[in-house]
Copies of this chain bind each other. A is one copy, B any other.
Amino acid sequence: MHYTKEDIKKLDRVRRLNIINSISGIKPANLIGTISKRGIENVAIFNSVVHIGSDPALVGFIMRPTGDVERNTYENIKATDSYTINHIHVSFVENAHYTSAKFDSDISEFEKCKLKPEYLDGFTAPYVGESQLKYGLQFVEEIPIKINGTILMIGEVQHLYLPDSSVAENGYIDLSTINDVGISGLNSYYSLKKFGQYPYARPNELPDFK
């Protein structure tokens, strides 16, 4: 099947949303936890978290701050400079999915979606108690993507929590040991199974390819 740019433009809106939201490939499933100045907790699912750098440890995500759901997250980050990113596991994927509903801003998605807010080591923003791999970030920069009004939000990792058993000697984290999930499109969830690990690639050490 071949779609041109014009074909994509002419697609029914929901069909286009679903197709184009799938073509980047599998997406990470994370919950972002924040708290407002008035103390109202917020947690929302994001599928656009992306690695920016490891030294300093920088993580980004794309947001559309004019959206009802994302606006609370955005405003809380701007107000407190503080947020958490929490991996979603198979055991609470349904709870996580429903944080995408447009709740009023004075309502905590933690309560509505039966997720446990957790405060660790004096960090301002709440973590998700059910998540085994999570980290607290200090907001660093927002980079506007003018062409469609989205924003790349960047933060630096201040605290990182993860199970000892998920980390191999060299620092590799096996995401399947913590039952991490992936997302395709907007609402399809995938389990992960590690099947291969290859060495650092050097031009003079190529294998005999099949």
Contacts and interface: CB of A to CB of B under 8 A. Distances in A.
A172 B198 contact: no
B20 A24 contact: no
Query: How many identical subunits does the complex contain?
Result: 2
Contacts of A147: 52-53, 56, 58, 140-141, 154
A174 B184 contact: yes
Contact of A198 (B57, B156, B187, B193): B187
A152 B61 CA distance: 12
A66 interface: no
A124 B55 CA distance: 36
A24 B5 contact: no
A28 B161 CA distance: 23
Interface string A50-73: 111111111110100000000000
Interface in A1-23: 1-5, 8-9, 11-23
Given A15-B170, A184-B175, A21 B54 contact: yes
A39 interface: no
B161 A190 contact: no
Given A18-B171, A209-B114, A5 B156 contact: yes
A50 B26 contact: no
Interface in A186-208: 186-203, 205-207
A36 to B, nearest CB: 18
14 contacts: A2-B159, A5-B157, A5-B158, A8-B157, A18-B170, A18-B172, A19-B167, A20-B57, A24-B85, A48-B50, A93-B196, A94-B210, A187-B197, A190-B193
Interface of A: 1-5, 8-9, 11-30, 47-60, 62, 85, 87, 90, 93-95, 97-104, 107, 112-114, 120-121, 133, 135, 140-141, 143, 145-148, 150, 152, 154, 156-164, 167, 170-176, 180-182, 184-203, 205-207, 209-210
